[in-house]
């Protein structure tokens, strides 16, 4: 393919990396518990990345359609189309597995399937010059449709990235909160153990004090009795 400085190649490289990341996350998912907050967060992260992948694929389609015909050889153009088709197939499979339904047919988004019959009727009865004019008009309409789609894709991409950043932040906050709760619980258990030890020591010290006072009282009483007997 062409140089990595090519905008299409840059976007394709990012999309390929994203596919690899999603594949790795899907593989890691099998090692997680089947239920609980951990797998829910992991699955949510996978779905967010699949959504972002969809916007990147739409961007690749737009960039490829805007490449001047003579700037690439037919062989290079076919390579890019095949590579994009391969990414689309992987993305569609991932989206289906995780119920992410944002991989609609591009032609349906542009309304081409509904316009096919109308285009055929518009060609009927035209001479060569009229057909050329009609082709130019159709090309202008397609360009306008691509521009509108590009704006929608970019807007969706920005929204998805913003949501992704927000969810990532909330996930970090929740993880930090869980860590703080664990630390606080550990400290509380240590304090409870120390209090129990102090309580036992306090009880033991009270018993010893009572015994010592009792012995002292008995000794004092014995001395008093002895004195009374001696001097009386």
Where do the domains of the chain lie? 7-121+141-168
Residue count (the chain): 232
pLDDT tens figures, 112-152: 444 444 554 555 555 667 666 766 776 777 777 777 777 77
Asked if pLDDT for residue 108 goes beyond 60, the answer is: no
Q: Which helix (H) or strand (E) holds 6?
A: none
Contact 63, 8 (CB under 8 A): yes
Using pLDDT thresholds of 50, 70 and 90, give the confidence band for residue 86: very high
Asked if pLDDT for residue 3 goes beyond 90, the answer is: no
97 phi/psi in degrees, rounded to 5: -65, -30
| DSSP state for residue 31 in the 8-state scheme | T
Within 10 angstroms of residue 139's Cβ, the number of other Cβ atoms is 10
pLDDT tens figures, 202-229: 666 556 666 677 777 787 877 787 777 7
Angle between helices 112-123 and 128-231 (to 10 degrees): 170
């Amino acid at each position: 393919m062409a140089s990595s400085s090519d905008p299409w190649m840059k976007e394709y490289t990012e999309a390929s990396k994203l596919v690899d990341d999603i594949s790795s996350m899907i593989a890691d998912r099998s090692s997680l518990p089947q239920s609980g907050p951990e797998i829910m967060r992991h699955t949510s992260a996978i779905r967010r990345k699949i959504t972002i992948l969809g916007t990147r694929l739409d961007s690749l389609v737009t960039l490829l359609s805007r490449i001047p015909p003579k700037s690439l050889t037919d062989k290079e153009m076919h390579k890019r189309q095949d590579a994009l088709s391969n990414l689309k197939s992987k993305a569609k499979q991932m989206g289906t597995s995780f119920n992410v339904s944002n991989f609609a047919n591009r032609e349906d988004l542009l309304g081409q399937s509904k316009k096919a019959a109308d285009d055929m009727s518009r060609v009927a009865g035209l001479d060569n010059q009229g057909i050329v004019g009609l082709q130019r008009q159709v090309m202008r309409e397609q360009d306008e449709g691509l521009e509108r789609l590009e704006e929608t894709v970019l807007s969706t991409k920005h929204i998805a990235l913003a949501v992704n950043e927000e969810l990532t932040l909330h996930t970090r906050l929740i993880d930090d909160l869980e860590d703080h709760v664990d630390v606080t619980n550990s400290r509380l258990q240590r304090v409870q153990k120390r209090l129990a030890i102090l309580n036992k020591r306090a009880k033991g010290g009270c018993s010893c004090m009572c015994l010592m006072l009792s012995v002292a009282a008995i000794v004092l009483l014995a001395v008093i009795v002895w004195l009374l007997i001696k001097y009386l």
